[in-house]
Amino acid sequence: MTDPDRGVPPRDTERTTIIHTDGERRGGSGVLIAVVVIVALIILGYLFLGGGLNRAADEVGVNVNVDTPAVQIPDVNINVPDIDVDLPEVDVDTKDEPAENKS
């Protein structure tokens, strides 16, 4: 058996790597927002569906019957003097004319 490449010198090849930097680059902000929304939905689901917000005041021992102190207001009698006001008689025109057209 003979080797056909025997006697042929190896070729030197040059390799070029091309890196495209002008394309769209996506950050991780979309993933971060999705994680925050999912965590918020889990917390709200636990509160609403788990009964965390539906507890009655009887079950937790809250007493809303508060005794308020009795307040006594003194009887105040204010005597306002009668005031007699004399107003002069004024002649009032009751026609339906606008005030701008009067002379």
Nearest to 50 by CA among 38, 42, 58: 42
Taking the whole predicted model, whether its pTM rises above 0.75 is answered as no
Q: What are phi and psi of 43, to 5 degrees?
A: -65, -45
Q: Roughly how many angstroms between the first and final C-alpha of the chain, as a whole number?
A: 134
Q: Count H helices, E strands: the chain?
A: 2, 0
Question: Any residues with CB less than 8 A from the CB of 43 and at least 6 apart, and which?
Answer: none
Per-residue pLDDT of the chain (103 residues; tens, 9 = 90+): 556 666 666 677 778 888 777 766 667 788 889 999 999 999 888 877 776 665 665 566 666 787 888 889 888 888 888 888 888 888 877 777 665 655 5
